[in-house]
């Protein structure tokens, strides 16, 4: 059997006559994900891109022609030679006439697992060899937290997450785990870079067996409800901060806060507590105040808070809380609440940033110094906060705020994407389609005809992980996987590396890009560099041949159960945090001095524009767009596993029975979900797992407009990003705010529709 690694786990496969005949989970995985095997049917599915293709108007009439036809124009199949020439000459034209900053290649997205063939690493390295590109900062996952947490705890959030208190420390120590956003077990299928063994469900079950009580504060029930007996307390979306502040207020008012902890480890409690008491704004943040905002009963807030003070408590926040307007506040407020409880630094106590929402959180992994593919230097300093992509394209030269400074949006003439799908991840897709008309040229490396490929001018077909050899390696997981090539590339598909090497050759930078190594030699180089770095910290890794022979390598286990920031809590003076005060900042003078009205100097409740309590609501329901349980984002939406839960081909929408009854809807009905920004069709799932007033549509259904030529056409398939707002979380983080979204639903009684998301675009051959 061969081995392969994906963000959803490791799989073994068998091959016969050039086809994969079997794909089964890795023998060491106790809780494998069913997502994996879907890939097998898709390798030579009609949606596979098998040859380079160029949009008809662009090819016939040149760069910038008929940009409004992106997404509806047919494609012309071209040979690699011509495709390479077109891409090389376009990159050259743009950098010479406008400068390298006119190339936008943030290229955000998850691409595939595998350390060498990681598409973003490849595209960034390639463009750095050419003089650089405008980049993006932060992620769609938790951009707001990435910017606020360094002001509160210091350091870098992505790095901090790998140091979260482990499940081993939770089991047997945590009396109460309070999960804002719940414990969505389906999300634990995923870990970026791959995962050898899924541990989250086991973690939850073992903790429950050893006495941890789980409380889910969320508009939606946790997916773990069948495994453990959680208490589910409903609250309105986007109101967690009000509840957290009321909990802080209750601790303060009842003298239950840990003053010694606050004195030793934090700064700014005086300012924060004045706000809690209402001294600074006239509103005490009482349980009754929060109840009127969140819909959670005041009595429940009081009771739960008293339990938190009495028991060893772990608070956890889902990343979804950051993907809403003022998404900086929940992560800051939860740190303040944990500090007042005073369990931080103790086994099983304090705060975790999202148990179960990816597999690596709370995994007791020894962090290995694995080498990345070197990226070189980007000579361009321009950047955007990742979710401001439409703003940038629509507003060249306009100023924007970000983390205390003002910058200008560059004027973009060429967009290059490899390994991400903005028609999956971005909000307000009708607005994005308008913005997408700005550049003269859009180039995309993809393996399937999804929406980002369909909206490109030049499409270069790339391989999937099963068509190349790689190393599955990430410091977040103990398993390093020797990834075998299973089958030959489909059609004329090439590895991203090969694609870039060939274009680099035409632009005279091949040597800089490849350094004379082929893909195999680079993988050996990555291994050897990693092995040398490991030896320096006295960890012995096998040599390259022995690793390839063995199929996988497992890094050593940690000696102790990890406790978040334990060094700091052991010695706050000797091992201070990387904040201005060296302590946890409950008030940040730095943030206060930025003077932002949407991100003050301490955790604060601010009313979002779109939420259930808004005084003037144009639409009555709050639409959440959570992560899909049958896939990763939009990847393999055309596969059997993802299709298995669709309703007449439409994405399901969860609706509470009360809301369904009020609209005369029954299970399985096709409904139109709409607001001012757009609409989509979904299949109704009527369930009391979602609270009244809230509907839930998972992301990931491929954008499938009824009329491909119309920019704001309804998506008949069920993509929620036609409805979500394209606003920044605040001037501080400028993160995406998809979860602040009101909508309405009604029975769809329009003409019958056929889903065409999984039909390839028209591809013409050149007349001979």
Ligand X SMILES: Nc1nc2c(c(=O)[nH]1)N[C@H]1C(S)=C(S)[C@@H](COP(=O)(O)OP(=O)(O)OC[C@H]3O[C@@H](n4cnc5c(=O)[nH]c(N)nc54)[C@H](O)[C@@H]3O)O[C@H]1N2
Which residues contribute to the site for ligand X (CB under 6 A)?
Answer: 109-112, 117, 119, 140-141, 180-182, 184, 186-187, 189-190, 217-220, 235, 237-238, 240, 318-321, 323-324, 354, 357-358, 418-421, 424-425, 445-448, 450, 452, 462, 496, 624-629, 632-635, 699, 720-721, 724, 738-739
Residues 6+ apart with CB under 8 A from 17: none
How does DSSP classify residue 4?
Answer: E
Contacts of Mo ion in 133-192 (CB under 5 A): 141
Contacts of Mo ion in 82-141 (CB under 5 A): 141
Residue closer to ligand X (CB basis): 509 or 738: 738
* Known catalytic residue at 525: no
Helix (H) or strand (E) holding 385: strand 383-385
* Known catalytic residue at 449: no
Rounded to a whole number of angstroms, the minimum distance from the CB of residue 138 to Mo ion is: 11
Is 239 among the residues that bind Mo ion (CB under 5 A)? no
Residue closer to ligand X (CB basis): 684 or 697: 697
Rounded to a whole number of angstroms, the minimum distance from the CB of residue 9 to Mo ion is: 17
Check 8, 110, 370, 416 and give the catalytic one: 110
Find residue 681's DSSP bridge partners.
Answer: 672
Residue closer to ligand X (CB basis): 426 or 531: 426
Residue whose pair of structure tokens reads 């409690």 in the numeric block: 269
Residue closer to ligand X (CB basis): 95 or 633: 633
Residues 6+ apart with CB under 8 A from 277: 249, 252, 284
Helix (H/G/I), strand (E/B), else coil: 300: helix
Ramachandran angles phi, psi of 262, nearest 5°: -60, -40
How many residues line the site for Mo ion (CB under 5 A)? Answer: 1
Find residue 215's DSSP bridge partners.
Answer: 178, 231
- How far, rounded to the nearest angstrom, does the alpha carbon of residue 299 sit from its chain's CA centroid? 35
Find residue 542's DSSP bridge partners.
Answer: none
Residue closer to ligand X (CB basis): 341 or 612: 612
Residue closer to Mo ion (CB basis): 52 or 354: 354
Q: Could you give the CA distance from residue 17 to residue 711 in angstroms, rounded to a whole number?
A: 45
Check 11, 58, 108, 436 and give the catalytic one: 108
Q: Could you give the CA distance from residue 270 to residue 422 in angstroms, rounded to a whole number?
A: 44
Asked whether the beta carbons of 151 and 588 are under 8 A apart, the reply is: yes
* 121: partner contacted, choices Mo ion, ligand X, none (Cβ within 5-8 A by kind): none
**C-alpha distance from residue 620 to each of 168, 385, 615, 665, 743 (Å):** 43, 31, 11, 16, 6
**C-alpha distance from residue 493 to each of 116, 315, 395, 539 (Å):** 17, 47, 36, 39
How does DSSP classify residue 419?
Answer: S
Rounded to a whole number of angstroms, the minimum distance from the CB of residue 181 to Mo ion is: 14
Rounded to a whole number of angstroms, the minimum distance from the CB of residue 320 to Mo ion is: 10
Residue closer to Mo ion (CB basis): 313 or 627: 627
Q: Could you give the CA distance from residue 621 to residue 737 in angstroms, rounded to a whole number?
A: 17
Rounded to a whole number of angstroms, the minimum distance from the CB of residue 51 to Mo ion is: 32
**Mutual orientation of helices 143-152 and 328-341 as an angle, nearest 10°?**
40
Rounded to a whole number of angstroms, the minimum distance from the CB of residue 624 to ligand X is: 5
Helix (H/G/I), strand (E/B), else coil: 482: strand
Q: Could you give the CA distance from residue 475 to residue 699 in angstroms, rounded to a whole number?
A: 28
At 260, list the tokens. Answer: 């010694």
Rounded to a whole number of angstroms, the minimum distance from the CB of residue 89 to Mo ion is: 35
Residue closer to ligand X (CB basis): 318 or 566: 318
> Using CB atoms, what's the residue nearest to Mo ion?
141
At 369, list the tokens. Answer: 């110094």
Sheet holding 313-317, edge to edge: 231-233, 213-217, 176-180, 313-317, 350-352
Rounded to a whole number of angstroms, the minimum distance from the CB of residue 262 to ligand X is: 25
Asked whether the beta carbons of 118 and 440 are under 8 A apart, the reply is: no
| Contact residues: Mo ion, CB under 5 A | 141
Known catalytic residues?
Answer: 108, 110
């Amino acid at each position: 059997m061969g081995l392969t690694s994906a963000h959803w786990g490791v799989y073994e496969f068998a091959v016969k006559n050039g086809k994969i005949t079997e794909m089964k989970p890795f023998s060491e995985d106790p809780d494998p994900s069913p997502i994996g095997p879907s890939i097998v049917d898709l390798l030579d599915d009609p949606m596979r891109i098998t040859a380079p293709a160029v949009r008809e108007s662009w090819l016939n009439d040149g760069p910038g022609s008929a940009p409004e036809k992106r997404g509806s124009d047919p494609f012309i199949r071209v040979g690699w030679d011509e495709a390479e020439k077109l891409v090389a000459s376009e990159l050259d034209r743009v950098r010479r006439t406008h400068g390298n900053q006119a190339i936008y290649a943030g290229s955000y997205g998850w691409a595939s697992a595998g350390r060498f063939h990681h598409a973003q690493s490849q595209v960034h390295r390639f463009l750095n060899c050419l003089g650089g590109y405008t980049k993006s900062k932060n992620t769609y996952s938790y951009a707001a937290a990435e910017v606020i947490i360094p002001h509160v705890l210091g350091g870098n959030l992505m790095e901090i997450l790998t140091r979260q208190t482990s499940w081993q420390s939770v089991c047997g120590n945590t009396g109460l785990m309070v999960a804002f956003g719940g414990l969505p077990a389906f999300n634990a299928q995923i870990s970026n870079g791959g995962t050898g063994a899924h541990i989250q469900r086991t973690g939850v079950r073992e903790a429950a067996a050893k006495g941890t009580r789980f409380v889910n504060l969320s508009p939606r029930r946790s997916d773990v409800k069948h495994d453990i007996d959680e208490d589910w307390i409903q609250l309105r979306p986007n109101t967690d901060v009000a509840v957290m502040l009321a909990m802080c207020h209750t601790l303060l008012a009842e003298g239950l806060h840990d003053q010694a902890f606050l004195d030793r480890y934090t700064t700014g409690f005086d300012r924060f507590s004045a706000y809690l008491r209402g001294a600074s704004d006239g509103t005490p943040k009482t349980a009754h105040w929060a109840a009127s905002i969140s819909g959670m009963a005041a009595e429940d807030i009081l009771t739960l808070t008293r339990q938190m003070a009495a028991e060893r408590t772990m608070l956890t926040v889902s990343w979804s809380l950051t993907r809403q307007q003022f998404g900086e506040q929940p992560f800051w407020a939860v740190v303040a609440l944990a500090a007042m409880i005073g369990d931080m630094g103790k086994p099983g106590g304090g705060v975790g940033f999202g148990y179960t929402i990816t597999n690596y959180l709370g995994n007791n992994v020894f962090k290995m110094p694995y080498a990345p593919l070197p990226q070189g230097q980007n000579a361009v300093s321009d950047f955007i906060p990742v979710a401001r992509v439409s703003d940038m394209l629509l507003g060249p030269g306009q100023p924007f705020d970000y983390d205390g400074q003002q910058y200008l949006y560059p004027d973009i003439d060429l967009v290059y994407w490899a390994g991400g799908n903005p028609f999956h991840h971005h909000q307000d897709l009708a607005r994005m389609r308008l913005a997408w008309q700005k550049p003269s040229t859009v180039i995309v490396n993809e393996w399937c005809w999804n929406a980002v490929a369909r909206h490109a001018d030049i499409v270069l077909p790339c391989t999937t992980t099963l068509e190349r050899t790689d190393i599955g390696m990430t410091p977040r997981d103990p398993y390093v996987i020797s990834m075998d090539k299973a089958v030959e590339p489909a059609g004329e598909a090439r590895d991203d590396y090969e694609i870039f090497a060939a274009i680099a050759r035409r632009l005279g930078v091949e040597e800089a890009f490849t350094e004379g190594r082929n893909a195999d030699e680079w993988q050996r180089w990555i291994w050897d560099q990693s092995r040398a770095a490991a030896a320096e910290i006295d960890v012995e890794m096998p040599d390259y041949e022995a690793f390839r022979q063995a199929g996988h390598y497992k890094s050593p286990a940690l000696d102790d159960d990890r406790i978040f920031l334990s060094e700091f809590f052991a010695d706050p003076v000797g091992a201070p945090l990387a904040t201005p005060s060296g302590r946890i900042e409950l008030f940040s003078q730095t943030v206060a001095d930025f003077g932002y009205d949407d991100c003050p100097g301490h955790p604060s409740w601010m009313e979002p524009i779109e939420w259930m309590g808004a005084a003037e609501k144009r639409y009555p329901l709050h639409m959440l767009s959570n992560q899909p349980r049958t896939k990763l984002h939009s990847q393999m939406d055309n596969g059997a596993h993802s299709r298995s839960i669709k309703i007449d081909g439409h994405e399901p929408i969860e609706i509470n029975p009360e809301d369904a009854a009020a609209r005369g809807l029954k299970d399985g009905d096709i409904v139109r979900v709409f607001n001012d920004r757009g609409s989509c069709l979904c299949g109704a799932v009527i369930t009391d797992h979602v609270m009244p007033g809230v509907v839930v549509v998972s992301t990931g259904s491929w954008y499938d407009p009824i009329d491909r030529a119309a920019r704001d056409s309804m998506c008949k398939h069920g993509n929620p990003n036609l409805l979500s707002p394209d606003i920044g979380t605040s001037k501080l983080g400028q993160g995406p705010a998809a979860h602040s979204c009101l909508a309405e639903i009604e029975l769809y009684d329009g003409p019958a529709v056929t889903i065409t998301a999984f039909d390839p675009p028209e591809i013409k051959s050149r007349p001979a």
